[in-house]
Amino acid sequence: MNNTHLLVTGFAPFDGRTVNSSWVAAKAIENSYSDIKLDVLELPVVWGAPLRLLKAMCEKSAPSIIVSLGEGKPGQFEIETVAHNFRKARKDNNSDFPPSSKIKADGPESHFPNAPCEEFRQKLAEKFPVVLSDDAGSFLCEETLYTLEALRLSNSDLRMTLFVHLPPYGTVLNDGRTVCDDTVLSEFAHHLIDTTLNIYREGTVITD
């Protein structure tokens, strides 16, 4: 595993909030894995930033796995199973609308992660409420997921990608009592990364 390079990304706060659960989770694992090379990267909620920053990371340090986290709906964690080539007409943190309705003008309508999403769901659901999703929201999370898959298809070093939505910080999970706080996000992030490394080691990624 010492040749494995894992990149974990989260997002900056948006919509007037001061905390983004995805970045809390990403930071929680920053110094937790000494047997692999691990980087964490905060993505700005700005149209076009995912491609610019993730492409630069792939060119600079050639990660073998990228796990991207975003803030989604309250109640549960969601593993995204499809990336749509579509942007909503929604303002980013710079108050700008997307430059076009498509993420990539000449790209396919959809990309699909090569991670075994159902296997991830089953393993993560042992401790947390986790479901599969086919709607990444058409905002910066969608753009990031689509970008990840396009980069994987064009970079032989990038072997597996995954995108997971986390409940917003401070909201209550579906059990009606567990708050999505630093402790819960750290526990989920470590379980997710442990699962990711085990699946990667077992070689159960989907080949295109």
| Per-residue confidence (pLDDT) for residue 73, from 0 to 100 | 95
Q: Of 71, 78, 142, 165, which one is the catalytic site residue?
A: 165
> Residues in the chain with pLDDT < 50?
207-208
Catalytic residue, candidates 71, 78, 80, 142: 80
User: Is 80 considered catalytic here?
Assistant: yes
pLDDT, residue 202, reads 85
Active site residue 58: no
DSSP codes of every residue in 97-138: --SSSSSSTTS-SEE---S-HHHHHHHHTTTS-EEEES---S
13 within 8 A of 26, measured Cβ to Cβ: no
Q: What angle do CA 48, 196, 169 make, to 5 degrees?
A: 60
Burial 59-79 (b: 16+ CB within 10 A, else e): eeeebbbbbbbbbbeebbbbb
Exactly one of 58, 84, 111, 141 is catalytic; which is it?
Answer: 141
Dihedral sign, Cα of residue 31, residue 32, residue 37, residue 41: negative
Residue 204 is predicted with a pLDDT of 60
pLDDT at 3: 82
Q: Which domains does the chain have, with CATH numbers?
A: 5-202 (3.40.630.20)
Give the per-residue pLDDT at 206.
Answer: 54
What is the per-residue pLDDT across 174-201, written as a single tens digit (0 to 9) for each?
A: 999 999 999 999 999 999 999 999 999 8
Backbone angles phi, psi at 143, to 5 degrees: -60, -40
pTM: 0.94
